């Protein structure tokens, strides 16, 4: 599948929801191994064939994303093997240590890996969709998902992924359970 050098890219895309520019701009100092968090506050952008670094487009894109500890352990191994020392070392680079350039990464690394895995057509951005689906399945509410994914609003998250929330149990059964405990509708029952 994908070469070991880029396993962390796949993991941070699928289990951290980072966009391409966020992945390419992520630095060692923004990875908090102890708290199992990654802070997104810089992005890499291709301007006329040159990679430049700057702030994300929107304030909502600046965020701290929790990672599963099992994923963070793999990111920590990646840090030890592939990332230069110092807080400014880019997490993901080319084999020569240069910033990742989508124009060469896609045809030389990504496309061969997805073809070999039998996933032709899978885009790096599709990893974000997997991330959101996993967060919903893990019980994250729309506000948490919106915040961690860097969406512009909760309504965007619900418009795009609301169908995933429909799969979470029977609300009527949960409401009956709540009412049988006498909360929070005790006052309403007293009116009867």
Q: What structural domains does the chain harbor?
A: 4-121 (1.10.443.10)
Region class of 118: left (phi > 0), else alpha (psi between -120 and 50), else beta: left
pTM: 0.83
| Cα separation, 81 vs 93, whole angstroms | 12
Q: How confident is the model at residue 167 (pLDDT cuts 50, 70, 90)?
A: low
**What region, left, alpha or beta, does residue 85 occupy, with left being phi > 0 and alpha being psi -120 to 50 degrees?**
beta
> Rounded to the nearest 5°, which phi and psi values hold at 158?
-70, -35
Mean pLDDT of all residues in the chain? Answer: 89
Does a cis peptide bond (omega within 30 degrees of 0) precede residue 184? yes
How do 37-40 and 31-32 pair as beta strands?
antiparallel
pLDDT of 115 > 90? The answer is yes
Q: Residue 15 class from Cβ within 10 Å (0-12 exposed, 13-18 middle, 19+ buried)?
A: buried
29-88 residue pLDDT tens: 999 999 999 999 999 999 988 999 999 988 889 999 999 999 999 999 999 999 999 999
Write the CA distances from 166 to 161, 169, 178, 179, 189, integer angstroms.
Answer: 10, 8, 20, 22, 29
């Amino acid at each position: 599948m994908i070469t070991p050098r880029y396993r962390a890219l796949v993991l941070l895309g699928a289990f951290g929801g980072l966009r391409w520019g966020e992945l390419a701009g992520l630095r060692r100092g923004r990875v908090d191994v102890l708290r199992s968090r990654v802070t997104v506050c810089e992005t890499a952008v291709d301007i006329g064939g040159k990679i430049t670094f700057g702030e994300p487009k929107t304030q909502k894109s600046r965020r701290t994303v929790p990672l599963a500890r099992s994923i963070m352990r793999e990111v920590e191994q990646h840090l030890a093997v592939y990332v230069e020392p110092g807080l400014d070392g880019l997490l993901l680079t080319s084999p020569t240590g240069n910033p990742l350039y989508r124009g060469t990464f896609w045809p030389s690394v990504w496309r061969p890996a997805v073809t070999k895995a039998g996933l032709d057509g899978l885009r790096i951005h599709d990893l974000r969709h997997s991330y959101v689906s996993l967060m919903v399945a893990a019980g994250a509410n729309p506000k948490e998902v919106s915040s961690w994914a860097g969406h512009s609003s909760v309504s965007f998250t619900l418009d795009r992924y609301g169908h995933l929330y429909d799969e979470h149990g029977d609300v009527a059964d949960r409401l009956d359970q709540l009412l049988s405990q006498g909360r929070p509708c005790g006052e309403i029952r007293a009116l009867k």
